[in-house]
Amino acid sequence: MKKTDLSISNHIEAKFDRGDVFSDKCPSREILRHVTGRWGMLVFVALRGGTPKRFSELRRTIKGVSEKMLAQTLQQLEGDGFIKRIVYPVVPPHVEYELTPLGLEFGQRVIDLVGWLEDNLLEILDQQQASA
C-alpha cells in the first residue's frame, strides 16, 4: 500500500467504525452501487463456480449486457477488490476473471438473494398482476 493510500485508509477508519450507507459521505454508497446494479449482481452469479471465465464467456452468459457495460462493471468490481483479472502473456492476449475471497463471500449473499427471487417469482408475478 502506498503512503497516500495508507493515510486515506487511516482517515476513513478514524471517521467510521464501519460503513454507513445512509451517509452521503460514506464510500460504501459507491461500492453498494457497483455490487447491486443489474450487471454487478449478474457478474457475481456468473462467476460463482470459482472457475475463471473469459470476457466473451461472461458476455454470453449475461445476455443483454453490452461490451462497454460489462467492461465497466468488471473494472469497478476489480477496483473494489471483488474480482481478480488474470492476464496471460500470450498472443493474442488471454484474460480471465475470477472472484477474490472477498468476492466469493459477497457473491454467496448475491446467489442466496437471486435464488430466493427465482424461488418466489410466481408469487411476485401474481402480486404484480393483482395490483395492476
Among candidates 9, 116, 96, 114, which has minimal Cα distance to 51? 96
Delineate the domains of the chain, giving CATH numbers in brackets.
Answer: 37-131 (1.10.10.10)
11 vs 13: CA distance, rounded Å:
5
Please report the pLDDT score of residue 13 as a whole number.
58
Q: What is the pLDDT of residues 38-93, one digit of tens each?
A: 899 999 999 998 899 999 999 999 999 999 999 999 999 999 999 999 999 998 88
20 vs 28: CA distance, rounded Å:
7
- Write down the pTM of the prediction: 0.79
Please report the pLDDT score of residue 23 as a whole number.
87
* pLDDT beyond 60 at 16: no
C-alpha dist (Å) from residue 92 to 15, 25, 95: 46, 43, 10
